[in-house]
Amino acid sequence: MKQFRVDQSLCIQCAECVKDCVFGLIVMQDGYPVLPADKEATCIECQHCLAVCPSGAISILGLDPADSLPLAGRFPNQQQMETLIKGRRSIRRYRPEPLPAETIDELLKIAAHAPTGVNSRGVEFIVVEDPATMDAIRQETMETLQDLARKDAIPDHLVCFRHFVPLMEQGLDPIFRRAPHLLIASAAEGVPTREADVFIALSYFELLANSAGIGTTWLGLAKWAMVDLAPRLLRSVGVPENHDVVYMMLFGTPDVTYYRTVQRDQDAKIRRLVK
């Protein structure tokens, strides 16, 4: 049951919820919006009806509209977003101290609001919070790469890993960059737009983290190591076997400060369609 409720004492009968319903499920009856029982199964729980109601009269899924954040005047302006997008850097120098668990939890809960195809909300996060677990992942990855190098089993298109092995044996960390935290985002095979959903969720997480002064790095190297070279590493960190799309991100407090944006406007590739 979707628990669609209308507080008639607050409803101004504007029908905005009817107009904005993605699949046109909500209808007006006797002057008030209704979600017919025979249409409930089609509802994708997007909560547009709750969000679009100007008077806070609509409740769905048992949610109280009073618990939602008000939006008027609270979005960052374009200049602020420009600075955030242009100013974020891939951080490869981190302080060793882990972030508070409550900070990580808050970031992930907010990032879970990222859009997904047909509102499937199938992205799952696995987060490494403690330094001991990060050290164990580093060690297991190094030992796996050492074994593959001895067997000459590293393919030519991943030749960089052959060079990483001696660096890791010297105590360097060319893959995980001594970051205190690792975030693995995955989605099950049945999720309709799982690859896009994963990348969108991580993009939201990255911008949110950077707005809080937390650095991030998209970790393609670990994806190649864990997905392409040694899938068992994914199992060892808890990724379910039916999750076949995954990407990773390092994060933590940066040990470097950047003072200005880079200049890439000239790199924008724009093709305008003109009939």
Residues 6+ apart with CB under 8 A from 71: none
- Residue 153 belongs to a domain: yes
Cα gap 126→48, rounded to integer Å: 28
Q: Is the pLDDT of residue 241 over 90?
A: no
- Residue 53: give its domain's CATH number: 3.30.70.20
- Report angle CA 150, 155, 156 to the nearest 5 degrees: 115
- Mark whether 61 and 89 lie in a shared domain: no
In a domain, 262, yes or no: no
- DSSP-derived letter for residue 38 is G
> Do the domain assignments include residue 269?
no
> CA–CA separation, 125 vs 197, rounded Å?
12
The residue range of the domain holding 42 is: 5-67
d(CA 97, CA 130): 9
* φ and ψ of 136, to 5 deg: -65, -40
Examine residue 125 and state whether it is found in any structural domain, yes or no: yes
The residues near 249 (Cβ < 8 Å, ≥ 6 apart) are 182, 183, 185, 202, 205, 206, 216, 217, 218, 219
- Mean pLDDT over 31-42 rounds to 97
- pTM confidence score: 0.93
Same domain, 199 and 96: yes
Q: How sure is the predictor about 1, in pLDDT bands with cuts at 50, 70 and 90?
A: confident
In a domain, 184, yes or no: yes
Q: How confident is the model at residue 181 (pLDDT cuts 50, 70, 90)?
A: very high
Total domain count, the chain: 2
Q: Is the pLDDT of residue 95 over 90?
A: yes
Q: Which of 14, 35, 67 is the last residue of a domain?
A: 67
How much of the chain exceeds pLDDT 70, in percent? 100
Find tokens 């668990």 and name the residue: 101
pLDDT digits (tens, 9 = 90+) for 11-32: 999 999 999 999 999 999 999 9
Is residue 63, in this structure, part of any structural domain at all? yes
Distance CA 271, CA 206 (A): 27
Per-residue model confidence (pLDDT) at position 259: 97
Please report the pLDDT score of residue 2 as a whole number: 95
pLDDT at 97: 97
pLDDT tens profile 198-227: 999 999 999 999 999 999 999 999 999 998
Same domain, 38 and 91: no
Please say whether the dihedral angle defined by the alpha carbons of residues 14, 17, 20 and 26, taken in this order, is positive or negative: negative
Beta strands 123-128 and 181-188: pairing type? Answer: antiparallel
Q: For residues 159 and 208, state if they share a domain.
A: yes
Is 99 a domain residue? yes
47: left (phi over 0), alpha (psi -120 to 50) or beta: left
Distance separating alpha carbons of residues 57 and 49, to the nearest angstrom: 10
Is residue 154 domain-shared with residue 21, that is, in the same domain? Answer: no
Residue 73: inside a domain: no
